[in-house]
Each structure stands twice: as C-alpha cells, then as structure tokens.
Copies of this chain bind each other. A is one copy, B any other.
Amino acid sequence: MEKKQIQPPQATIRRLSVYLRCLNGFDDEGITVVSSQELADRLDLNPAQVRKDLAYFGEFGKRGVGYSIAKLRDHLIKILGLERKRMVGIVGAGGRLGKALASYRGFEKRNFKVVALFDKDPHVIGQVVGGTGAIRHFSEIPKAVKELSIEILILTVPVEAVDEIFELAQLSGVKAVLNFAPSKLISTDEVMVHNVDLAMELESLSYHLSLGEKLVPPDAQ
C-alpha cells in the first residue's frame, strides 16, 4: 500500500482540523468512541472520505469498533504540529483587517500566539493593538522574527505592498506566510504560502445561488 510515503493533499490537511474540532465536540458530549460514519454524518462528508483521509497517517481505529476519540485527537494534534505554541507576526497591523486579526480570540485557543505587529505607515507605528504591544516599522521584521522565534507571518497589506513584504519575509527566515492581500503569492522552497481570499468565499456561494436561477450553457467554445 505504501500509503505513508504519499504526501496527503492539501484538502486532507484542512479536513484534519475539521475532524479535530468535531472530536472535541463528541468528547464534550461524553462520547469516547466514534465510527467514520458518525464522524462523516456530523460533518456532512462521505465516510469513505474520512477513512481515506485518516489512512494517510497510519491505521487508526479498529474495524467494527471505530476510533478512540482521545487517541485519534492526540494523533491529529501531533500530525498537525499543534502540540506546541507557534509564534505569529502580523504585517499590515494598522489596517482594519490587521487589527481584527491581532485581537481574534480564535488563534490563541488553537496554540497560535500573535507576538509582533508591523506596518509601513508612520502614523500607526507605536500604536498599541490588543494585548500584543506596539506596532513596529516593517523593516524590523527580520530582527523580530529571530528574536521572537516567529514562524508564521500574516500579511494584511495592500496589494501594492505585497511583493516587497514577501521579499522581506523570505529574507527574514520565517517559514510560513498567510496572505490576506488580494494578490496570490506562490510558495518557495523555504516559505510555505497560503492565500486567503475573502471574496472567493462569496464567489462559491454565488455559484450555488446562481444554480437556482438559470441553466449554465452546456457548451462554450
């Protein structure tokens, strides 16, 4: 089978986070063992998909018995590297989205700690946002990444500034970038990039809205 040597697709990695939260929900309800069918039902997924996703990482669960919630949860935490805190910096922290993310409570609960804020605008340098302290000039990124062991930079900068900031991020030695700017960045060998596009979330909803409105012309070219 050699499943362990195959790199799981990005979509599988994303679903691991979903499984993890779902297991926490079962645990809260006092449930200790769960089947792939039950996990799938709760998440509106196909049970075969659940089993396939988990099989990338070894044999969990017992046939006919299901998964031990405590064990599966511990393993998902290890697989996702969530057993230790990861330090995060936000670039563009003077903007509204940057400020919102700087005080987003969901990060710290999941073991991500925002430890530094950066911006380019001299008017916001020195402003204190949330509990993270004052916004620094973005030229301090490389120094702060080293001193504070920052592993992930979140970019909420304007499109025009993205390339410059990404170059600086690469030089800084940071290993991952989460980009909210509406301009797609490509991962390099050193820096893993995820691009978040808030409008794209609306576009796929729009697809579903339009399904009810009209038939798409079946043939185009």
Chain B min CB distance to A8 (Å): 9
Q: Are B17 and A200 in contact (CB under 8 A)?
A: yes
Q: Are A205 and B220 in contact (CB under 8 A)?
A: no
CA distance A79 to B210 in the complex (A): 8
Q: Which residues of B lie under 8 Å from residue A213 when comparing CB positions? A: 81
Given contacts A204-B194, A209-B151, are A99 and B96 in contact (CB under 8 A)? yes
Taking the complex as formed, is A14 at the interface, i.e. its CB lies under 8 A from any CB of chain B? yes
CA distance A88 to B212 in the complex (A): 18
Q: Are B202 and A67 in contact (CB under 8 A)?
A: no
CA distance A217 to B145 in the complex (A): 30
Taking the complex as formed, is A103 at the interface, i.e. its CB lies under 8 A from any CB of chain B? yes
Best-buried of A176, A210, A213, A220 by chain B (most CB within 10 Å): A220
Q: Are A202 and B86 in contact (CB under 8 A)?
A: yes
CA distance A99 to B98 in the complex (A): 11
Given contacts A100-B96, A182-B106, A198-B106, are A192 and B205 in contact (CB under 8 A)? yes
Q: Which residues of B lie under 8 Å from residue A143 when comparing CB positions? A: none
CA distance A221 to B10 in the complex (A): 24
Q: Which of chain B's residues has its CB closest to A88's CB?
A: B202
